[in-house]
Structure formats: structure tokens, C-alpha cells
Structure 1
Amino acid sequence: MGPITVTAVIDFVTVVFVLATMLSMGLALTTNEILISLGQRWLLAKSLLVNLVLVPLLAFVFVIVVPMETGHVVGLLLIAMAPGAPFGPKLAEISNSDVAFASGLMAVLGVVSVATIPITVALLMPGDVSADPLGIARIVVVTQLIPLIGGLGVKARFQSVATRLHPPIQRLSTVLLVLLVILLTLVYAGEMIQLVGTGTLFISVAVVGAALLLGYVLGGPGKGTREVLATTTAARNVAIALLIATTSFRDPGVLTIIVAFGLLSLVISGPVASLWGRLSEA
């Protein structure tokens, strides 16, 4: 058995983080929250359109128009293809918006993206990039769909157990996220500094801002659902994007842009949600 490398530690932390995050999500959701999202068919259709089609296509247009390194192209496309950030309901809570819709939408996106992520990888990745859509599909099923459905099953059948399990698993997910960000920042600090001046950060900000705007425009007519769709669309699923990157793409630039995009999306969508929350209380 060889020495344990930093890369191996990052891979392990990433896998456990995604498993804990999706299990925590399932333990927190209720059947009613999911049914609320499914019942608003026109709103759900628009939500799927903006999250699964428009944001990936927007990122694709940017990487075609603006010259970028291959690793940055792959990273930007991966994070754009990964919808359903686990903290979407938290942003809805901060903005005093429709938390039930945010929770249900998060679950729907988590399930649907099992099929859409491999498809968009096959369709949008540059031809010179080696990608295995079926392998990516297996990764998403094992680490995202199975723990999510498992958590939902426990919540539906054994609510008291779910209530006890959710807080520690959620804390584990939070701790692992912080640890993962620290590890990635330390290992790829040089690459992240090199992003400054390349235009990649500007493109990431543009994609996040456009996702916010598209979500708000398509989330109507209610103010609460507009705000939910805006922040949910802007905050992509960094967890699954990182997992796919660490298992399928070894270029450091891929991880670098995913981490940078994730931080930028929080820096932008978090204050926007807070502003909406303060305005609703005024």
C-alpha cells in the first residue's frame, strides 16, 4: 500500500461530502414539498428549462466565444450542467420566499439531473475532451440519487429517525464542505491566482448574474417563486460537479474553476437573498 496523497484525500472527502449532502437533503424533505413542486406544472417546466437547458447553453456560448484554457472550459461547463444546490432552501429562507417550493424543486432537480448531466456532457463537451457519459451517470446515480431516495424513504417511513439523523449528517456535510474548500484552496492556490486577469472570473460572474435574472423572469407570477428560482438557478450544485471533476477529469484547471464559480455564486446570490429578505420585512 503506497503513501496517501493529497489528491486521494480530496477524492475521499468529496465522495463523503456528496453522500452526506444528498442524504441530508432527503432526510429534510417531505412528500408534500415535492408534490407542491410537481403540482405547479407550468412553473416546474420553466424551472427545468432554465436550470437544465438555458444555463448550460449560456456557459457553452461563452466558452465558444471567449478563448479559454481547456481545463477552465470543462470546469465551467460542468458546474453549469449541475443544478440543484443543496443550500437552495436556505437561500429561500434568507429571502423570506417560498421555502416549500425551493425544497421540492431541489429534490426534483436532484433526480432529473441523473439523466441530464450525462446527456449535456455528451452534447456540450469539446470534442478534444475525453468524457465518459455512462461513467458519469453511474457516479451521479450512486452518490446523488441513491442517498437522496434513501433519505426520502427514511423521512416517509420513520420520521422520528429522520429527525434525529438529519442534524448530525447536515453538520457533517457542512464540515466536509469547509474542509474541501480549504484543501482545494491550499492545493490549487497558484491556479486560482492565475485566474485573475484571464477573464474566466468575469465569465463566471456573468453566468451567475444571467442565471439570477433568467430565474427571476421565469419564476413568476408570484414574488416568492421568482426569488426561489432566481437564487436556486444561480447557485449550482458544486458538490456533484466537484465529484465528477475529481473522478473523471484530472486537469487542475477543472477543479479550480468549479471552486471559484461556487464561491462567486454564493457571494452574489447570498447578499441578493438577504436584500430580498430585508425588503419583505420593511
Structure 2
Amino acid sequence: MEAPTVTALVNGVTIGFVLATMLSMGLALTPDEILASLAQRRLMAKSLLVNLAVVPLLAFAFVLAIPMATSHAVGLLVIAIAPGAPFGPKLAEISDSDVAFASGLMAVLGVGSVATIPITVALLMPAGVAADPIGIARIVVLTQLVPLLGGLWVAARSPSVAAAVHPPIQRLSTVLLVGLVALLTVAYAGEMRQLVGTGTPLVSLVVIGASILLGYALGGPATGAREVLATTTASRNVAIALLVATTSFSDPGVLAMIVAFGLLSLVVSAPVAGWWGRGSAS
């Protein structure tokens, strides 16, 4: 009886976290930010390429090349195929980079990943791993696309309403994130400990580091855009990855891998952004 109860609680908190996070993202964005990002066509094309295709293929290459438990391989792939972390603009603020481009890119990735996540799940999952791309697409649409577009609609129609409701929803998202991490840590502490010594944390660090380098290399001549693409590419969307994992894969090792990757990406990306920010201020 205990396992279904824990699973149901994790699912409920995860869904609430994703809904609050995506609605908060939509409320904080403006149409001008999105249009300005889309106007940079070459930069946006390279940003979509590296986030939606290159990073998932990089993770897939490591899964093929390095022996690891199936649950860890699935977790690595699920977090790699989920782009558009909601704290991307915050990292842009820390690095004193192009915050407007970071915000617009976050929205475009949120919309684009609705199509790419189910496709990459179908193409990249290890042999023998059962996945339902149609079911995953339905989940991503309902929990990511609908609240994101709803927030964007409110922000466009009534900026004053969006400004008023955004702070409490953002706080709710933060509270749910803290609660979810605590819940996963307690419920799956054993699985988290099992990652130590497997080599998967090192693989995660290599994927994160490579994502930063690829993003910076493809970010064009403007330093601000390079820094945004670097940190955004390395910071995957833990919220939607957890939702896909909790609703599609029963092995808790998948969740442990996603949480570990998300924490490592913050540990790496935030100091890098801070270093760039100090450099621009000097």
C-alpha cells in the first residue's frame, strides 16, 4: 500500500509544480520578447537545433557508449529531451546577458518541445523500454502548453492582471519545487545513493559541460546571446522531465537520475553565469 501512496503523492506534486511553473512563465513573458527572439532567425534556428536535437543525441551517444543501468539511461534521456528550464532568464540576469532573448527562447522551447519530446521518446528510448508517445504528447500539451499559452494570453490581454497574479503563482511554483525535491529525496534516497559509483554523475557533468560549450559556440557574435544560449542549453526542464517520468516509467531510478542531473546543472550553470556577470561588471 505504501508504494502506490508515495507514487500518487509524487505525481500530484509534480503535476502541480509543472502547471504552476508553466503558467508563471507565460504570465512573465511579453509578446515583444517573443517576437524579438523570433526575429533573430539564424540565432533562433541554432538555438532550437542545439536544444531540441543536439543535446538529446549527445545523451543518446553516451547511453550507447557507456554501460549503465536501464533506469539511469532512461532518466538521462528524459532530462536531455526536455529543454526550456524556467529559470533560464534568471541565469541571464545573473550573467548580465540578454534577458529578453532568454525569455523569448524559453517560450519558444516550451512550445516546440510539445512536438519534440514525444518524438524523441519514441526514437531514443533503449530497447525493451515501453513508452507511449501519444500519451506523453497528451500530458505535455495539457500540463505545459495549455498553462503557458494561458499565461501568455492573460499577459497580452491584461498586463496589470498578469503582474498581480504572477508573484503568488511563482511563489507556489517555488514551494512545490522545494516540496517535490524533499519528497523525492526522502522517498528515493536509496536510489539516489546508488548513483554514486556508477559513473552516471560524471556522464551528467560531461553532458552539462558540453551543452554549455555548444551553446556558447552557436550563440553568434554577440556575447550576451552566447551566454544565454550556453546556460539555457545546459539547464534542462526538470519540471516536465519529472512529469514524463512519473507518468510513464515506474522505476524510481529514473526519477533519481533526473533529480541528480537537475541539481548538477544548477551547480555548474549558476557559477558560470555569476562569473560572466562579474566579468561584464568589471
- TM-score between the two structures when normalised by the length of structure 1: 0.98
Tell me the equivalent position of 1:8.
8
- Cα offset, 1:7, TM superposition: 1.7
Aligned AA (2:223): K
Query: Is 1:124 the counterpart of 2:124 in the alignment?
Result: yes
Tell me the equivalent position of 2:17.
17
- Which runs of 4 or more aligned residues in structure 1 lie more than 3 Å from their structure 2 counterparts after TM superposition? none
Query: Is 1:112 the counterpart of 2:112 in the alignment?
Result: yes
SS of corresponding position for 2:169: helix
Tell me the equivalent position of 1:221.
221
Structure 1: give runs of 5+ residues left out of the alignment: none
Q: Distance in 1 between matches of 2:141 and 2:171?
A: 23
Q: Distance in 2 between matches of 1:160 and 1:120?
A: 39
Tell me the equivalent position of 2:150.
150
Q: Which moved more, 1:28-37 or 1:3-12?
A: 3-12
Tell me the equivalent position of 1:61.
61
Matches within 5 A, 1:1-282: 5-282=5-282
Q: Distance in 2 between matches of 1:149 and 1:21?
A: 12
Q: Distance in 2 between matches of 1:210 and 1:3?
A: 37
Aligned AA (2:128): D
SS of corresponding position for 1:242: helix
Aligned AA (1:215): G
Q: 1:33 to 1:128 in 2, by over 3 A?
A: same
- Cα offset, 1:187, TM superposition: 0.9
State the aligned residue count. 282
SS of corresponding position for 1:5: helix
- Cα offset, 1:220, TM superposition: 1.5
Q: 1:4 to 1:115 in 2, by over 3 A?
A: closer
- Cα offset, 1:127, TM superposition: 2.2
Q: Distance in 1 between matches of 2:129 and 2:192?
A: 22
Aligned AA (2:277): G
Q: Which moved more, 1:183-192 or 1:253-262?
A: 183-192
* Deviations 1:91-145, CA, capped at 9 Å, x for gaps: 0000000000000000000000000000111111112100000000000000000
- Cα offset, 1:3, TM superposition: 11
* Deviations 1:209-243, CA, capped at 9 Å, x for gaps: 00000000001210000000000000000000000
**Alpha carbon RMSD of aligned pairs, Å?**
1.3
Identical positions, percent:
75
Aligned AA (1:241): A
* Deviations 1:44-83, CA, capped at 9 Å, x for gaps: 0000010011000000000000001110011000000000
Q: Distance in 1 between matches of 2:115 and 2:127?
A: 21
Q: Distance in 2 between matches of 1:58 and 1:3?
A: 34
SS of corresponding position for 1:97: coil
SS of corresponding position for 1:198: coil
Q: Distance in 2 between matches of 1:107 and 1:3?
A: 36
- TM-score between the two structures when normalised by the length of structure 2: 0.98
Aligned AA (1:167): P
- Cα offset, 1:160, TM superposition: 0.8
Q: Distance in 1 between matches of 2:273 and 2:178?
A: 21
Q: Distance in 1 between matches of 2:194 and 2:148?
A: 37
SS of corresponding position for 1:58: helix
SS of corresponding position for 1:96: coil
Q: Distance in 2 between matches of 1:220 and 1:91?
A: 19
SS of corresponding position for 2:273: helix
Q: Distance in 2 between matches of 1:221 and 1:189?
A: 44
Q: Distance in 2 between matches of 1:105 and 1:46?
A: 11
Q: Distance in 1 between matches of 2:274 and 2:151?
A: 29
